[in-house]
């Protein structure tokens, strides 16, 4: 595998292209759910961490000195939680702006907005997946899926992951609140 | 730092001006002008030899006609053809680029004149495409005209001539993009202490912009 930033950038670009294909009227609903998910998982991070650390130790008999295994378990749990929320947002009708009324603008500005919103969703999803690898010391490297150490670019990007750009996860609720206001107006 | 911010703001203003012109002129007019300006510039650069040969041929034909080459008398014709050998070519390696540039300017003016005609006014919408075409025109003009305009601010004929000769449109575009990137990085360094706030505002504005452009008048009732 190549440098980690190439892997996650590819994921982000693919999500952005999906966003362009679906149109921003649909993608905005996903943006809202993804940002809420980032807020929830970051805000309650220590709680989830404690809960699943105990679960790992008791249910899967992960001993205290098996930190690599515990990290792998925790990163998988956080990743699965996040992916489940993202999947639900893509498969469900909840918060779909298109369902509440409104058609996207035509090209070219409609296309540009779709691309920007798609890129934002790509950044949020790929960035969050990367964050849970970085937080738990890259457990996927044991399968040879990730090559360490990080490049200089990778180290710079790690500081700009969604969970790290704001001082508090509460910041993520500002755009969520604004989007909700737009959703329910008229 | 300040100079780079000035350059960035100037460039944005310049592009905004051309985007506005595109909006005012409409999609079809601006698209036509951009297509002609860009197409003719590429053709003149790619097939410059053909245009230079045509111009030289034109000059020789003029001299041939002047010397009686179009006469019905075969002796006069032969004598006229003989004089062509001493006629110097109109365009040399020195003045050919200038000729091609002037030719492009003439085509550009003609394109603007033609685009104002009625046949391009029908269904001529002022929309995002019009703005994009305007921005494209602005970028094309800056890459072609900027090296020539530098002669106004660079002292000395030799330096300005050198700039015009050595710079290609792609070089100017590359330098412009590099300068823009540097300016943006510097601006980012300037606002970095407030990065969180700037990102939050940008993110919220993007989402507000996206949500506000949803066309609710044609919405489906669910």
Res A109: pLDDT: 81
Report whether pLDDT(B36) > 70: yes
Q: Would you call the peptide bond into B137 cis, given omega within 30 degrees of 0 as the criterion?
A: no
N residues, chain B: 222
Confidence of residue A97 (pLDDT cuts 50, 70, 90): low
> Across the interface, do A117 and B206 touch by the CB < 8 Å criterion?
yes
pLDDT, tens digit (0-9, with 9 covering 90-100), for A46-58: 999 889 888 888 8
Spell out which residues of chain B touch residue A109, defining contact as CB-CB under 8 Å. 128, 213
- Using alpha carbons, select from A99, A132, A133 the residue that is nearest to residue A23: A99
Spell out which residues of chain B touch residue A165, defining contact as CB-CB under 8 Å. 195-196, 199
For testing contact with chain B, the best of A29, A107, A108 (most B CBs within 10 A): A108
CB atoms within 10 A of CB B36: 17
> Across the interface, do A175 and B207 touch by the CB < 8 Å criterion?
yes
- Using alpha carbons, select from B37, B143, B34, B148 the residue that is nearest to residue B98: B148
Residues 6+ apart with CB under 8 A from B26: B121, B124, B125, B126, B130
Closest chain B residue to the Cα of A171, Cα to Cα: B200
Report whether pLDDT(B70) > 90: no
ipTM: 0.83
Confidence of residue A186 (pLDDT cuts 50, 70, 90): very low
pLDDT, tens digit (0-9, with 9 covering 90-100), for B9-32: 888 899 999 999 999 999 899 999
What is the average pLDDT across B165-186?
Answer: 75
Give the CA distances from residue B167 to residues B136, B160, B171, B172, in Å, rounded to whole numbers and listed in that order: 20, 11, 6, 7
Res B136: pLDDT: 92
Give the CA distances from residue B20 to residues A16, B56, B137, in Å, rounded to whole numbers and listed in that order: 29, 41, 11
Find the CB nearest B220 among A24, A101, A171: A101
The residue extents of the domains of chain A are 4-184
Distance in Å from the first CA to the final CA of chain B: 54
Task: Collapse the DSSP code of A76 into the 3-class scheme (helix H, G, I; strand E, B; otherwise coil) and give the result.
Answer: helix
Instruction: Look over chain B and give the mean of its residue pLDDT values, rounded to a whole number.
Output: 82
């Amino acid at each position: 595998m190549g440098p980690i930033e190439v892997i996650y950038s590819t994921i982000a670009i693919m999500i952005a292209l999906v966003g362009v294909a679906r149109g921003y009227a649909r993608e905005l609903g996903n943006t809202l759910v993804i940002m809420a998910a980032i807020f929830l998982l970051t805000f309650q991070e220590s709680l989830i961490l404690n809960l699943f650390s105990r679960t790992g130790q008791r249910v899967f008999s992960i001993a205290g000195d098996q930190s690599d295994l515990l990290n792998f378990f925790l990163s998988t749990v956080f990743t699965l939680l996040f992916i489940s929320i993202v999947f639900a947002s893509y498969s469900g009708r909840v918060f779909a702006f298109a369902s509440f009324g409104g058609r996207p603008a035509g090209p070219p500005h409609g296309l540009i907005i779709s691309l920007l919103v798609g890129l934002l969703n790509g950044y949020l999803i790929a960035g969050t997946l990367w964050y849970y690898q970085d937080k738990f010391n890259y457990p996927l490297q044991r399968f040879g899926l990730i090559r360490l150490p990080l490049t200089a670019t990778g180290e710079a990007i790690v500081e700009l992951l969604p969970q790290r750009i704001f001082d508090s996860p509460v910041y993520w609720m500002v755009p969520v609140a604004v989007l909700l206001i737009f959703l329910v107006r008229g | 730092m300040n100079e780079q911010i000035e350059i960035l703001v100037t460039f944005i203003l310049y592009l905004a001006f051309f985007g506005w012109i595109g909006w005012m002129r409409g999609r079809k007019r601006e698209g036509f002008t951009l297509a002609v300006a860009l197409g003719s510039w590429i053709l003149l650069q790619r097939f410059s030899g053909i245009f230079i040969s045509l111009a030289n041929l034109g000059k020789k034909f003029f001299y041939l006609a002047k010397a009686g080459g179009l006469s019905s008398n075969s002796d006069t014709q032969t004598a006229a053809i003989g004089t062509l050998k001493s006629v110097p070519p109109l365009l040399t390696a020195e003045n050919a680029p200038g000729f091609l540039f002037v030719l492009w300017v003439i085509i550009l003016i003609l394109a603007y004149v033609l685009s104002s005609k009625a046949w391009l006014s029908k269904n001529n919408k002022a929309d995002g495409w019009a703005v994009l075409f305007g921005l494209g025109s602005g970028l094309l003009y800056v890459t072609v005209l900027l090296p020539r305009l530098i002669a106004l601010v660079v002292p000395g004929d030799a330096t300005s001539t050198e700039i015009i000769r050595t710079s290609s449109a792609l070089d100017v575009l590359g330098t412009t993009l590099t300068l823009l990137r540097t300016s943006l990085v510097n601006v980012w360094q300037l606002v970095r202490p407030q990065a969180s706030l700037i990102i939050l505002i940008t993110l919220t504005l993007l989402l507000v912009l996206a949500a506000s452009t949803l066309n609710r008048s044609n919405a489906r009732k669910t």
